[in-house]
Chains A and B, each alone.
Chain A
């Protein structure tokens, strides 16, 4: 079963709040990803974890802080966000990193920063 579960599905937060997005997969995948997607745009890569280690940070502002507690879980901690950070945040996982591995996406968290 190719399933990536994200919580919450929707989140509204103020600019001074701290919140976390959560992602879980039980497919034994060793690579996990955070993407940000704005309306009518393709997903933009934020972070890649491979074997629980951060391997790519796409110059994401420090107000976004990823964490990979174990091979099944990926968190994204949010603090002092701006209204322009409102977007769909997608988690994905793949068996490995590398060119021939398919990525599977969670349903996303729709974030609104007010």
Chain B
């Protein structure tokens, strides 16, 4: 069935380091793709999204590009901050469906 695969965590970085969290998906058709972030003790918040191939979603310095040829939606940030420490979830919404399917999440810790 359709699925989302994220890189295994946890990921530990120093402040100002470059971040990449890999996400690939399997799906028929043309799903919409999302990144959600969960800060400690909170619910998930939408970070960014892309609805069609070659779209780039961006927010708070994070970016992800919808790559249909590689079925990927990798999350990147050029310079992470301690406040970016959180769990990041990749998710997809198949065309014609409203239900999100989530990856398992990747925990990011940024040290000063």
A and B: real partners? no
Query: What is A's interface to B at a CB cutoff of 8 Å?
Result: none
B residues lining the A interface (CB < 8 Å): none
